[in-house]
């Protein structure tokens, strides 16, 4: 039983992000139109900026942003567009992926010009609060928060910072409303964080910000 418990603890500590299904490859892109993302991965609720360059595409040409979110059933317009500037550049800000998503752009030339695709991953958003950040030694502190988008039933790992990195000290699960709550007895100062495992292919694991508790 001790060996089994140790193995389980190792899995909880070392658990990595869920692996997203590989997006399908689209048609061969036109090198005259490029695309890049301001971030390869974002936390749910955060935005990215897509931008790129053009060649042999007139200034003023409309650039249409298209997306192919998990489960990758095909590209569709996002409703966002840009215009090629005199230097041949384009940029679109405020794009907010909800799940792992491929993006491409189409220049409204005749015939249309399609870029390559960029892939943006999305992490779960994990809030983390404590009932008391300066608890009395030996008292119980409630660790609680919410996860977005909702992932009821998924594992919640409460971790404490050590000299070799964060170590899982206790676990719980998300409620039906994607919330968690766990009481932990605090005997000494420590820095904590919360990791929520996605265990699916549309989001990566989420990690909260850290909080330091100081006993008195």
What fold does the segment set 36-123 form as a domain?
Immunoglobulin-like (2.60.40)
User: Percentage of the chain surpassing pLDDT 70?
Assistant: 88
Cα–Cα distances (Å) from 23 to 35, 70, 78, 80, in that order, read 17, 8, 18, 22
CA distance 93 to 108: 19
Mean pLDDT of 133-161: 98
Task: Say if residue 54's pLDDT is above 50.
Answer: yes
Q: Which position has the token pair 């792992």? A: 100
Q: Tell me, what's the pLDDT at 12?
A: 43
The pLDDT confidence band at residue 26, using thresholds 50, 70 and 90, is low
Q: What is the CA radius of gyration of the chain?
A: 22
Mean pLDDT of the chain: 91
Q: Tell me, what's the pLDDT at 154?
A: 98
- The H-or-E segment that residue 8 falls in is helix 2-14
Q: Tell me, what's the pLDDT at 29?
A: 86
> CB under 8 Å to 64, separation ≥6 — which residues?
77, 81, 105, 106, 107, 108
How many C-beta atoms surround the C-beta of residue 89 within 10 A? 14
Say yes or no: do domains 36-123 and 124-213 share a fold. Answer: yes
CA distance 3 to 14: 17
User: Percentage of the chain surpassing pLDDT 90?
Assistant: 87
The pLDDT confidence band at residue 11, using thresholds 50, 70 and 90, is very low
Write out pLDDT tens, residues 68-119.
Answer: 999 999 999 999 999 999 999 999 999 999 999 999 999 999 999 999 999 9
Class of domain 124-213: mainly beta
Residue 145 φ then ψ, to 5°: 175, -170
The structure's pTM equals 0.85
Task: Say if residue 9's pLDDT is above 50.
Answer: no
Domain range summary for the chain, segments of one domain joined by +: 36-123, 124-213
Task: Say if residue 63's pLDDT is above 60.
Answer: yes
Task: Say if residue 156's pLDDT is above 50.
Answer: yes
Q: At 106, is the secondary structure helix, strand, or coil? A: strand
Q: Tell me, what's the pLDDT at 5?
A: 46
């Amino acid at each position: 039983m001790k060996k089994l418990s140790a193995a389980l603890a190792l899995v909880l500590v070392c658990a990595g992000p869920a692996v997203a299904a590989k997006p399908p490859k689209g048609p061969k892109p036109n090198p005259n139109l490029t695309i890049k993302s301001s971030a390869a991965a974002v936390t749910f609720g955060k935005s990215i900026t897509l931008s790129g360059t053009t060649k042999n595409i007139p200034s003023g040409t409309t650039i249409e942003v298209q997306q192919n979110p998990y489960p990758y059933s095909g590209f569709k317009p996002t409703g966002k567009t840009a215009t090629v500037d005199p230097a041949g550049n384009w940029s679109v800000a405020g794009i907010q992926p909800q799940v792992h998503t491929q993006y491409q752009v189409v220049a409204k030339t005749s015939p249309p010009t399609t870029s390559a695709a960029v892939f943006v991953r999305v992490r779960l958003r994990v809030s983390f609060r404590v009932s008391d950040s300066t608890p009395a030694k030996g008292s119980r502190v409630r660790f609680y928060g919410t996860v977005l988008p909702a992932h009821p039933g998924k594992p919640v790992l409460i971790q404490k910072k050590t000299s070799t990195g964060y170590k899982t000290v206790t676990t719980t699960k998300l409620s039906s409303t994607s919330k968690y709550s766990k009481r932990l007895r605090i005997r000494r100062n420590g820095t904590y964080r919360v990791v929520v495992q996605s265990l699916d292919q549309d989001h990566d694991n989420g990690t909260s910000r850290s909080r330091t508790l100081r006993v008195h």
